[in-house]
Amino acid sequence: MYPPINSTPTDIPRVGYIGLGLMGKSIARNILKAGFPLVVHNRSRSAVAELVAEGAREAFTPAEVAAQVDIIFTNLPDTPDVELVALGPQGIIEAAHPGLILVDNSTIQPAAARRIAKALEAKGVQCLDAPVSGGDIGARNATLAIMVGGPVEALQRVHPVFLAMGKTITHVGEAGAGQIAKAANQIMVAAQMVAMGELLVFAKKAGADPQKVVEAIRGGAAQCWTLDVKPPRLFNGNRQPGFKAYMQAKDLNIIIETARQYGIPLPSAAVDTQLFNAMLQNGMGELDNSAVIGILEALAGVKLLE
């Protein structure tokens, strides 16, 4: 059904990318700019057409991508999407060939990453769960932090491609370890977004200028990426993504489910999950994750900008 592929790796690996969303398209573009032959697939064809115009080849199914490449990336919204693309009808498994490496940039359940790796291992495919952090800015600027779980030898093969995507590449452990690291990352990200929203609402309602408060505390122990990047956008009335709130909520729900599996108490993350789920219930899911301040504004009866 699919054309045969030479299983001997070339000096420059052929790369496939599936999932050309807010971050995926930028990552794929950087891979292409770095000189790797690229095959792309996405449900929405406009993103495919854009990259084809820049030199990529298009494919119409995940299996069609897998048949043509040495390394195949996925960057998809949630666990069921990755499982379908990897193991479902016309999925990667249907055109899997010895020597193929699957790299998943999505954020999914660690247990699912392990299931996918085990299923594809029987086909001679090595898997890396390699979620990323840095948002759309990091994806565009190739400054992502990449957290990798899976075989070291597969990481060594993919490393030149990772260099086209990010500035920090860390091998965390075996299959699933990259997803555990990303979950830990998202615990901290959510906590920072909520804490930032709380301090801004606190300052506003208690009678201080939130902009001057941020200026004052950024030079001390409260300094962090969130305070450096997000307040200027909020003060300009910009709550557009960025990193969408519904994705933050999805990640937090993965964290809570994984914590439940292992009996891990996460009281702060549980509250943060409720706040981000409230964003979805209030029609705010497409906004930036920093827009969680909107829920806090409603609870406090105050607006940051008024």
Residues taking part in catalysis: 182
* DSSP labels, 28-71: HHHHHHTT--EEEE-SSHHHHHHHHTTTPEE-SSHHHHHTT-SE
Rounded Cα–Cα distance for residues 179 and 132 (Å): 9
Q: Other C-beta atoms within 10 Å of 74: how many? A: 25
Residue among 131, 286, 279, 106 nearest 194 (CA): 279
Looking at residue 303, its amino acid is: K
Tokens matching residue 245: 């709130």
Rounded Cα–Cα distance for residues 156 and 45 (Å): 32
Angle at 186 between CA 181 and CA 190, to 5 degrees: 160
**What are the helix and strand counts (H, E) for the chain?**
13, 9
> Is-contact 72 65, C-beta < 8 A?
yes
Rounded Cα–Cα distance for residues 104 and 16 (Å): 11
